[in-house]
A and B are shown apart, each in its own frame.
Chain A
Amino acid sequence: MWHSTLFWIALQIGLQLLVILLPTRLKTAYVLALVLFNTIWSSQLAFLALLQESIAWPLLRVPVIGDLTLAVDTLSGFFILIINFTTTLAAVYGIGYMADQRIRVNMNLYALSFQSMHLGMLLVCMLHHFFGFLMAWELMSLASFFLVLYDYEKPGILSIAMKYLIQMHLGVLAILVGFLWLYKQTGLFEFVAFQTYFAKNPNLPLFFLFFVGFGIKAGFFPLHTWLPEAHPVAPAQVSAVMSGVMIKLGLYGILRVATYLQQDALYIGIIVIVIGMLTALYGILNALMQHDLKKLLAFSSIENIGIVGIGIGMGLIGMGLKDSTMASLGFIGALMHILNHSMFKPLLFMGAGSVYKASHTRNIELLGGLIHRMPISATLFLVGSIAICGLPPLNGFVSEFLLFQGIFERLNATNVSSEVLLLITLIALTLVGGLSIFTFTKAFGLTFLGVPRSAQATQLTPVSAWMLAPQVGLVIGLVSIILLPDVYFTFFLEIVGNLFVQEGYAAKGKVFFALEGDTYISLVFLCIIVVLFALRSWVVRRFGQRFGSTWGCGYVAGNTRMQYTSNSYAHYFRRLGKGAVSYRETYQPMTSLEIFPKERSLEVEPTDTVETNLIQPSTKKLSWLLQQFAIIQTGRTQSYIMYAFLFILILFLLTFFQFI
């Protein structure tokens, strides 16, 4: 019985459904337990694949659908591990975040969806049969759809969720068409079909189709419009999982297809790198302008996906040019950035969730001064911010460093002037890095520093330990990357070596040396910080401290509104980001006849350019166009009979004139 697949499937389904029977208060704990259960066996498989050899176990012959096989190789193994790490910590967080939810049916929905989302993500990495892959993919999307609409009592969420579902559906359609085309050309319904197809046909068109399909999930520009709307409205741990790992599965899909590429890699790489740059710039410019903390983080995810895209593009260009150093560094940088982002973005989202839970608002303009009342959350958020900006001594620096290293190696090896694209990439990366520092100083500074801007920021409910512990766990994960970069680097080298670049080991020596140097410097940095901190504590104890109110020197009649607002902080960059960011200004202008003007208010809401200028108008037009045909059901019998007559007449004429 233990070997029967059907038994395990039935067990899994039973365990998933069991949560309905539990009392409401225990549901989140059960979710953690089930996630842990699935983590254990999937991580075992992942380690087996990473340390020993890839797995391919036939699972089940399903009628009509096909032969399902469990296939875990190094790439899948890596993704499984980051999925498990983040989701488990998010489940722990969920226990604290959802502790006050009492409505049974809502909690059932949440629990079932969270568990299935985890399972769906794992299965996506483990199934290579197209039908199974699609079903797992849709399971994951559907589950996240229900999680996004968890807070359905709030206005506007239903339409956001629907938009999310539609975009996911379009992605699935693109992938499905790609799969069916592969089936038609090769007769195979598994990922190995790519191998056969790419050997004999141009690679670019089909790769692009899959790039679009998976890119919608990943959040590449301009397919990203669902991301900044769906991530903020979901519960914090769900946003953490979605930003941290689910969008990475879009990247998994792209990487998986890329492992089979045999021609055209150079052109594909150029396209990917350009899209990556656009995504990164668009993401960070929009993030800069937001005043909703979680929306800011969502756009920052888009930026990081762009950076990964740059890495993948570099890797592909390296493959195309047969430059194994650049290729390996590009791919390894991309993979490492995926790992890093899956650590610090959930950390940041959980921090934002703590802020929301405590103050009941996500609006930066109503917050401020939270560091005094929530010191631990503030510190954790700070660590996450430093990491995401790519500043040493934290891990974000390592992955961006690898990308820079890849570009420099290539520029060194050839004539600088002929690699214009790479120079532009360099500039873009630098710009993005700088802008992200700006963004996160805004995010951290306005929220936690200064003085509270509204009553909501003063009346805070305390944050439970269940919500703080996973953040600490993520910090530990971050730090491990600094302390042991070689370990991770070796893993990635193996993945890339197996799947992408056969001679990737050439770069090993240089990079190892540089990484070790980085660790050394980071440790020195940390020591300096610790020493300074110890010094300060000694001085304070010796000489005492004097406390005053924030900005208490100078102007004594200040009020809380005399601080930076979200827009004013980023004001300078409004001009820079003109094309990328749009605004919705709500303001009633004064007419010349108003002698005694009434009170006015100005509301500036940054909106996503692609969404407002491209997607909304076109979908509205299409809907309008379709609805023009809604005149058939006239209510009159005469019309109905006329339709029958016309139907026969038209088909008769078509036949007669031989059109059909």
Chain B
Amino acid sequence: MDFLELYFIGSVLIALLMYLVKGRKLDYLLFIPFLGLQIYFTYRSWFSMNQVLDEYFSVDALSMIFLILNTVVAVPTVIHAFLSAERKHDSRRAVSIHNAALVLFIVAMTGVLISSHVGLLWAFAEATTLTSAALIYHDRNLVALEATWKYVFVASIGIAFAFLGILFLGIATQDAQSPDLSLVALAKSVNAMESTWLKMSFLFIVAGFSVKIGTVPLFTVEIDAKDAAPSAIGALFSGGLLNVGFVAIFRFYEVFSHTEIHAWMNKVLMITGLTSVFFAAVYLLSVKNFKRMFAYSSLEHAGLVLIAVSAGGVGYFAAIFHLIAHSLIKASLFFQIGQVQQTFRHKNVERTGNYLRINPWGGAALLVGFVGILALPPSGLFISEVLTFKALITGDHWLVMGLLAFLLTFILYGMGSSLLQVLFKPLPAEELTSIERISAWESVPEWILLLGALTLGLYPPPALNNLIQTAVAHLPNVVKL
């Protein structure tokens, strides 16, 4: 399809231009054509849903949901990146690399979403690692260097594992006499494949892509990355890359779910999800750096999503709904916490306070985000968590549900106390007057995202629900809402 090639080639050209151009404001101006291209691509994809675009690309309901979400989160990312670059007076070279990498990163994420061939999906996932490395290193200090090195190294190992998983899948396809790794062909021939290879393949896929979705076992470097990267990029990681990692794992899950390993896959995902939530709870009780706190919160939500998928039934719907609401809320939290960091000039919760007085609109956004991320109504996450519990109870997973309830209470306590400190703890008066005030207008993107999340929590739009139902329709035991 023409618009597909236009999108890829156009984006690469814009990235190149961004790298070469040496004016800071001009560089950011180049984002306008890119965002236009991205929106155009999303628009055209909507109308090409379920048609095959190319031999290797196709857009289905699942891709569409997250494509729209990526576009929605990308816009405030660019705005906030621009604002923070202006405020910190970043060097022109840093800005040009950052912008080029950001463009390519968004394109790579799109690539993963629309790939219909497993190998191409993997290649685009590799590309996200490459481009995000440049983004994490943006601040160019020791912390950033360390985070980037670790991320690159461990993510490469993750990618290598994922490749190994695909290799095992390849062996399995040879059994079935159909050496074709496109998703369509796999779906047809999967029943003829031997389950041992499928299990090993899935195991390595989950372990490998865990660095993208940010769950056990490779979540540790994701946390470091979100800490060291600028907040706007952290928002895109939590709100975009996490979903892309989920889609990568989900594609395999969907194909394999029609075989006998479905129950085994559910157990693996449940173990992964539960351990992720466990470690999130452990660290959220003690972490003092608020960017890491939100990173651990993403760990928790990624774990919850995997548990929802493994529970089945209405859990499939709940998982995707959860991801959508989570992206909106977490992105707005990251944006806002970037402003908090710039207000206080450090990342330690214990030395901040009184943010509601200092920045009323921003503080209120943080407050609403606080209510949202802790899954209290009217947050969209409340609905998805109730549905997840529903799925768990229907499936008689009482132990999992009990543990989950226990861990979620501790998470509520840990994160709630820290956020309350940031918002309300009184500061000495001299500190209060010497703090730089950030304009309330900078919080507008956060409010827009939060309004979206609140609408999801009060009146989920039927169009979205239908889209999600379509996305999960091919799974066994789906419950219609």
Contact = CB atoms under 8 A, between A and B. Distances in A.
A162 B413 contact: yes
Nearest to B392: A180
B164 to A, nearest CB: 10
A655 B389 CA distance: 26
Contacts of A651: 203, 268, 271
A105 B96 CA distance: 40
A139 B158 CA distance: 43
Contact of B216 (A64, A108, A623, A647): A647
B393 A181 contact: yes
A62 interface: yes
Nearest to A642: B217
Chain B's interface size range is 35 or more
Interface string B413-427: 100110011001110
A149 B153 contact: no
Nearest to B462: A63
Nearest to B401: A177
A105 B271 CA distance: 44
Interface in B344-401: 356-357, 360, 363-364, 371, 376-378, 382-383, 386-387, 389-390, 393-394, 401
Interface string A145-160: 0000100110000110
Interface residues of A, number: 54
Given A142-B371, A158-B424, A637-B154, A134 B282 contact: no
Interface string B458-473: 1111100100000000
A640 B389 contact: no
A646 interface: yes
Interface in A218-237: none
B150 A162 contact: no
A639 B393 CA distance: 36
A640 B285 contact: no
A166 B286 CA distance: 17
A632 B279 contact: yes
Contact of A655 (B264, B360, B387, B409): B264
A176 B386 contact: yes
A103 B357 contact: yes
A640 B220 CA distance: 7
Contacts of A158: 417, 420-421, 424-425
B150 A640 contact: yes
A143 B457 CA distance: 17
Interface string A90-120: 0000000000000111001100000000000
B394 A184 contact: yes
B324 interface: no
Interface in B275-291: 278-279, 281-283, 285-286
Q: Which of B161, B401, B426 counts the most chain A CB atoms within 10 A?
A: B426
Contacts of A149: 420, 424
A660 interface: yes
B410 A170 contact: no
A644 interface: yes
A643 interface: yes
Contact of A660 (B264, B389, B401, B417): B264
A162 B420 contact: yes
Contacts of A138: 376-377, 382
A637 B460 CA distance: 43
Nearest to B385: A176
A646 B217 contact: yes
Contact of B360 (A104, A181, A623): A104
B416 A64 contact: no
B218 interface: yes
A138 B458 CA distance: 13
B330 interface: no
A644 B377 contact: no
Contact of B157 (A626, A630, A641, A652): A641
B283 A63 contact: no
Interface in A642-658: 643-644, 646-648, 651-652, 655
Contacts of B93: none
B66 interface: no
A321 interface: no
B461 A152 contact: no
Contacts of B192: none
A263 B355 CA distance: 54
A158 B419 CA distance: 10
Contact of B282 (A153, A630, A639): A630
B129 to A, nearest CB: 15
Contacts of B363: 105
Nearest to A625: B282
Nearest to B204: A648
A interface secondary structure, majority: helix
A633 B220 contact: yes
Interface in A151-187: 152-153, 158-159, 161-162, 165-166, 169-170, 173, 176-177, 180-181, 183-184
B282 A626 contact: yes
Given A161-B420, A166-B409, A637 B371 contact: no
B217 A626 contact: no
A652 B394 contact: no
A477 to B, nearest CB: 33
A408 interface: no
Given A180-B389, A652-B203, A64 B357 contact: no
B417 A159 contact: yes
A131 interface: yes
A301 to B, nearest CB: 25
B456 to A, nearest CB: 9
A126 B394 CA distance: 28
A65 B378 CA distance: 12
Contacts of B481: 63-64
Contacts of A152: 424-426
Contacts of A135: 377-378, 382
A184 B461 CA distance: 26
B26 interface: no
Q: Which of B150, B281, B377, B394 counts the most chain A CB atoms within 10 A?
A: B377
Contacts of B382: 135, 138
Contact of B461 (A63, A103, A630): A63
Contact of B279 (A629, A640, A647): A629
B267 interface: yes
A652 B413 CA distance: 35
B322 interface: no
A641 B161 CA distance: 11
Nearest to A172: B376
A643 B220 contact: yes
A627 interface: yes
B218 A64 contact: no
Interface in B417-453: 417, 420-421, 424-426
Nearest to B417: A162
B154 A641 contact: yes
Given A637-B154, A643-B220, A644-B217, A65 B377 contact: no
Contacts of B223: 633
B412 to A, nearest CB: 6
Q: Which 7 A-B pairs have the closest CB atoms?
A: A647-B217, A152-B424, A643-B217, A660-B267, A135-B377, A105-B360, A180-B393
26 contacts: A64-B481, A65-B460, A103-B357, A104-B360, A108-B360, A135-B378, A138-B376, A139-B377, A158-B420, A161-B420, A170-B409, A622-B410, A626-B282, A626-B285, A626-B410, A627-B285, A629-B278, A630-B282, A632-B282, A637-B150, A640-B150, A643-B216, A643-B218, A644-B210, A652-B200, A655-B199
Interface of B: 150, 153-154, 157-158, 161, 199-200, 203-204, 207, 210, 216-218, 220-221, 223, 264, 267-268, 271, 278-279, 281-283, 285-286, 321, 356-357, 360, 363-364, 371, 376-378, 382-383, 386-387, 389-390, 393-394, 401, 405, 409-410, 412-413, 416-417, 420-421, 424-426, 458-462, 465, 481
Given A103-B357, A134-B377, A647-B216, 10 more contacts: A65-B460, A135-B382, A142-B371, A629-B279, A629-B282, A632-B283, A648-B161, A651-B268, A651-B271, A660-B271
